[in-house]
């Protein structure tokens, strides 16, 4: 036996369908749903979490795949990072696949799930900026039936999971256009993002959508930079842009996400950012420039 494994989870339920899972959670509201457990069990081992009961979601097959629904993909919350990283998935939603492949070492990717990444809502969660850029919606299942909530509302705290509710699916638009996810870790091996950027092209709406992860509690969307760069792109011809435009986009995104400090008094120069923050801003700028460059090339 290990010395710190909990024996506090007195009740473990292993439902095989979504309805059973909702029923189990409703029956025991203090129970915690667990899928891959890569975040949850680490918290349990550290003694930060002592769940009264666990509802294991690993046997619910309907959550482990995806289906198509009027131009969208309905992704099961139990999709593992390893599954999302495979080429067939990458052909559908390339940025999400790239984020999944970058999400950690193989052991983590084999266990960790899309739904878990969303619910944990760690600032460094790799799938989150991609979902924010895709403007994905969550399909929640609960005792009162299903409802839909934009991912960003949950991450921003505008919407909360009600007792007994589960993230069942993630609805993602299929855009049939290049998407890029880039992350800087400061090392060669797998690591947490220092900053990450997702860039998604939406040719039907003639839009570029961008989200920056890991630098704030939730992904940030530089909306003005998106609109400006979308107006420069020749959507009907070669979509390429001049290198100067890419550089300007990178700087626009970085300055929007990591703004200057307000000046001490009216009319004065703003105080300089600390070196570490400036470095982070440079990193975001480079990532955004490279991501857009790759998406348009």
Partner 1 sequence: MSNDAATAIPAVDAPRQEQEQEQPVRGLGASLPSADARAKAEGTFPYAADLWAEGLLWAAILRSPHAHARIRSIDTSAAAAMPGVRAVVTHADVPGDSAYGRSVADRPVFAADVVRHHGEAIAAVAADHPDTARLAAAAIIVDYELLEPVTDPEQAFSAPPLHPDGNLIRHIPLRFGDPDALGEVIVEGLYRIGRQDPAPIGAEAGLAVPRPDGGVEIYTASTDPHTDRDLAAACFGLPPEQVKVVVTGVPGAMGDREDPGFQIPLGLLALRTGAPVKLAATREESFLGHGHRHPTLLRYRHHADAEGRLVKVEAQILLDGGAYADASSDSLAAAVSFACGPYVVPHAFVEGWVVRTNNPPAGHVRGEGAMQVCAAYEGQMDKLAAKLGLDPAELRMRNVLATGDLLPTGQTVTCPAPVAELLQAVREYPLPPLPVDASEEDWLLPGGPEGAGEPGAVRRGVGYALGMVHMLGAEGRDEVSTATVKVQDGVATVLCAAVETGQGFSTLARQVVQEVLGVEDVQVAPVDTDQPPAGPAAHGRHTWVSGGAVERAAKMVRTQLLQPLAHKFGMSTELLQITDGKITSYDGVLSTTVAEALEGKELWATAQCRPHPTEPLDEAGQGDAFVGLAFCAIRAVVDVDVELGSVRVVELAVAQDVGRVLNPAQLLTRIEAGVTQGLGAALTENLRTPRGLVRHPDLTGYALPTALDTPDIRVVKLVEERDVVAPFGAKAASAVPVVTSPAAIASAVRAATGRPVNRLPIRPQSAVVHPTP
- Residue (171 or 281) nearer to partner 1, CB: 281
> What x/- string results for residues 258 through 297 when contact with partner 1 is judged by CB under 8 A?
-----------------xx--x--xx--xx--xx------
Alpha-helical (H) ranges within the chain are: 18-27, 40-45, 81-84, 87-92, 94-101, 106-111, 114-120, 127-134, 151-156, 223-232, 243-257, 275-296
- Residue (265 or 276) nearer to partner 1, CB: 276
Q: How many CA atoms lie within 13 A of 41 on its CB side?
A: 13
- Per CB under 8 A, contacts with partner 1 among 133-172 are none
Q: How far is the CB of 228 from partner 1 (least distance, A)?
A: 22
- Per CB under 8 A, contacts with partner 1 among 177-216 are 182-192, 194
Q: How many CA atoms lie within 13 A of 97 on its CB side?
A: 13
# binding residues, partner 1 (CB under 8 A): 34
- Residue (2 or 231) nearer to partner 1, CB: 2
123 binds partner 1 (CB under 8 A): no
The residue within the footprint of partner 1, chosen from 17, 19, 29, 45 (CB under 8 A), is 45
Q: What are phi and psi of 179, to 5 degrees?
A: -140, 145
Helix (H, G, I), strand (E, B) or coil at 258: coil
The residue within the footprint of partner 1, chosen from 73, 82, 102, 245 (CB under 8 A), is 102
Q: How far is the CB of 116 from partner 1 (least distance, A)?
A: 16
- Residue (150 or 190) nearer to partner 1, CB: 190
Q: How far is the CB of 108 from partner 1 (least distance, A)?
A: 10
> What x/- string results for residues 215 through 254 when contact with partner 1 is judged by CB under 8 A?
----------------------------------------
Residues 98 and 63: their CA atoms lie apart, in Å, by 21
Structural tokens at position 185: 């870790």
**CB of 215 within 8 A of CB of 253?**
no
**CB of 148 within 8 A of CB of 138?**
yes
């Amino acid at each position: 036996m290990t010395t710190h494994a909990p024996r506090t989870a007195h009740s473990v339920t292993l439902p095989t369908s979504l309805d059973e899972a909702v029923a189990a959670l409703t029956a025991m509201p203090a129970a915690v749903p667990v899928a891959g457990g890569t975040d949850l069990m680490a918290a349990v081992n550290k003694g930060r979490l002592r769940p009264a009961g666990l509802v294991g979601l690993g046997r619910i097959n309907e959550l482990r795949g995806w289906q198509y629904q009027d131009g969208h993909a309905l992704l099961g919350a139990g999709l593992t990072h390893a599954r999302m990283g495979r080429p067939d998935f990458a052909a559908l939603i390339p940025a999400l696949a790239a984020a999944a492949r970058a999400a950690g070492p193989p052991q983590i990717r084999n266990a960790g799930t899309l739904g878990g990444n969303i619910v944990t809502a760690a600032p460094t969660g790799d799938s989150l900026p991609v979902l924010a850029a895709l403007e994905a919606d969550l399909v929640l299942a609960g005792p009162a039936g299903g409802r839909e909530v934009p991912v960003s509302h949950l991450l921003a705290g505008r919407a909360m999971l009600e007792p007994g509710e589960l993230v069942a699916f993630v609805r993602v638009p299929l855009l049939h256009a290049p998407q890029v996810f880039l992350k800087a870790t400061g090392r060669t091996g797998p690591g947490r993002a220092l900053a990450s950027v997702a860039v998604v092209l939406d040719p039907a709406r003639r839009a570029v959508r961008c989200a920056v992860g890991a630098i704030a509690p939730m992904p940030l969307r530089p909306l003005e930079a998106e609109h400006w760069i979308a107006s420069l792109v020749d959507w009907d011809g070669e979509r390429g842009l001049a290198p100067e435009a890419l550089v300007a986009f990178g700087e626009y995104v970085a300055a929007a996400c990591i703004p200057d400090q307000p000046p001490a008094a009216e009319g004065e120069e703003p105080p300089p950012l600390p070196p570490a923050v400036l470095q982070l801003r440079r990193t975001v700028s480079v990532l955004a420039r490279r991501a857009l460059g790759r998406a348009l090339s």
